Structure formats: C-alpha cells, structure tokens
C-alpha cells in the first residue's frame, strides 16, 4: 500500500484544480444549478410579498384573469 502526505498548500492546489476542471467540463450543469437557485430566490421573494397583500377571493382572481 502506498501512502501519500500532502501539505496544506498542495491540498489547496489539488482542490482548486478539481473545481476548475469540474466547472469547465460541467458548465451546463452549473448553469442549471445557478438558474434553479435564482428561481428559488425569486419564488421566495414573491411569496414574502404575497403574504403582505390583502387576501382576495377565488372569484376575484378569475374575474381579473378573464379581463386580459
């Protein structure tokens, strides 16, 4: 069995290389992940904003949708 030891600087460089390689090879995956995070943030903000507005009935919502 072969044993290896890495100092902190060597480990940091290996991690940087691995992350850089991952980002380069999996760009579409990263884009999807970032898009999902942005959508989650937007949805959360919309929910927070919606909780501050008055409650309306289902009929009022449907009536407003029919006007458009």
Predicted TM-score of the model (pTM): 0.50
pLDDT in tens, 25-51: 888 888 888 999 999 999 999 999 999
Packing angle between helix 27-51 and helix 8-25, nearest 10 degrees?
Answer: 80
Q: Domain residues of the chain, as ranges?
A: 8-67
The answer to whether residues 14 and 6 touch, using CB atoms and an 8 Å cutoff, is yes
Question: For residues 7 and 14, is the Cβ–Cβ distance under 8 A?
Answer: no
CA angle 42, 63, 65 (to 5 degrees): 40
- How confident is the model at residue 2, as a pLDDT? 65
Question: At residue 60, does pLDDT exceed 90?
Answer: yes
**Residue 36: alpha-carbon gap to chain centroid:** 4
Please state the rounded mean pLDDT for residues 42-65: 94
User: What is the chain's length?
Assistant: 68
């Amino acid at each position: 069995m072969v044993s290896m030891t890495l100092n902190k600087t060597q480990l940091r460089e290996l991690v940087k290389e691995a992350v850089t390689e991952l980002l380069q090879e999996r760009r579409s995956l990263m884009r999807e992940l970032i898009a999902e995070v942005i959508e989650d943030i937007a949805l959360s903000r919309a929910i927070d904003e919606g909780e501050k507005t008055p409650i309306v009935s289902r009929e009022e919502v449907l009536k407003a949708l029919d006007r458009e």
